[in-house]
């Protein structure tokens, strides 16, 4: 399990291909140039493939909670170069209550808690109740970027917005695919008064992994690990 190799988009963390980004001090992918995301910056540790994908699945589908500790370390490595403001709130992407009840835990929350255990007193506070998921959403697998955004519209909301007004938010999830979930969460957080939103995930579905014939979710379903994806 190794970190994603560059060059990477300075905004969404997508792996950039080709030579036209060479030499750019702050490279930005074409998607972020056309439609800048709501979040300030997204980082991830590694590509959503191979052993890293397997470790995420061991936590998420086989419910081996100690795997969260290793994933939390990876998240810390991904955040090593990010200078978060003081008094940042860490918010895991919430699960629908039925899904959480079925799984027994929220994998994003477990990773976030492990990440905080490895922090060196940076004043990041965990918040698991302010951002909520209002409804169950259909699986994002196979949907276009536009369809993903439509599927998520209205799926999240903020309770007690006065508690996050003017605060920086670190949004944590296990995997980022197109950024639709992270973008929708950032939208509602900013509308509720947050200053800016940072996104950190353990894994990132790069263009190379996204183009594989069988998606990771399809493989998981085939092996009996199935479940709707909540990827950022």
Which residues, in sequence order, are CB contacts of 107 under 8 Å at separation 6+? Answer: 56, 59, 60, 68, 174
Residue-level pLDDT at 24 = 78
| Residues 86-115: tens digit of each pLDDT | 889 999 999 999 999 999 999 999 999 999
Predicted confidence at residue 137, as pLDDT, reads: 78
pLDDT in tens, 70-85: 999 999 999 998 999 8
Higher-scoring residue by pLDDT: 151, 54: 54
How many of the other CB atoms lie within 10 Å of CB of 51? 10
Burial of residue 36 (number of CB atoms within 10 Å: 0-12, 13-18, 19+): exposed
Q: pTM here?
A: 0.85
- The pLDDT of residue 208 is 53
Q: What's the CATH architecture for 37-222?
A: 3-Layer(aba) Sandwich (3.40)
Residues 6+ apart with CB under 8 A from 165: 192, 193, 194
DSSP secondary structure letter of residue 88: P
Neighbours of 79 (CB within 10 A): 21
pLDDT band (50, 70, 90) for residue 226:
very low
pLDDT (tens digit per residue) in 170-214: 999 999 988 989 999 999 999 999 999 999 999 999 865 444 434
Domain spans, the chain: 37-222
The pLDDT-based confidence of 219 (bands split at 50, 70, 90) is: very low
H or E element in which residue 175 lies = strand 168-176
Q: Greater confidence, 57 or 23?
A: 57
Instruction: Work out whether strand 41-47 and strand 196-204 pair parallel, antiparallel, or are unpaired.
Output: parallel
φ, ψ at 100 (rounded to 5°): -65, -40
| Residues 174, 205 contacting (CB under 8 angstroms) | no
């Amino acid at each position: 399990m190794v970190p994603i190799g560059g060059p990477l988009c300075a905004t969404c963390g997508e792996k950039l291909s080709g030579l036209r980004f060479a030499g750019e001090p702050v490279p930005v992918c074409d998607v972020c140039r056309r439609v800048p995301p709501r979040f300030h910056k997204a980082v991830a540790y590694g590509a959503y493939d191979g052993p890293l994908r397997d470790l995420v699945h061991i936590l998420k589908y086989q419910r081996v909670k100690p795997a969260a500790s290793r994933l939390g370390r990876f998240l810390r490595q991904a955040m090593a170069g990010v200078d978060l403001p003081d008094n940042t709130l860490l918010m895991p992407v919430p699960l629908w209550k039925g899904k959480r009840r079925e799984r027994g835990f929220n994998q994003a929350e477990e990773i976030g808690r492990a990440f905080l255990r490895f922090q060196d007193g940076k004043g990041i506070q965990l918040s698991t109740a302010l951002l909520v998921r209002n409804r169950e959403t259909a699986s994002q697998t196979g949907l276009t970027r536009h369809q993903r955004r439509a599927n998520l519209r209205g799926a999240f909301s903020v309770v007690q917005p006065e508690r996050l007004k003017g605060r920086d938010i670190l949004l944590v999830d296990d995997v980022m695919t197109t950024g639709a979930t992270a973008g929708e969460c950032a939208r509602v957080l900013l509308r509720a008064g947050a200053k800016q939103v940072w996104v950190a995930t353990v894994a990132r579905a790069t263009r190379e992994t996204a183009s594989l014939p069988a998606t990771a979710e399809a493989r998981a379903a085939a092996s009996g690990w199935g479940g709707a994806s909540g990827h950022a």
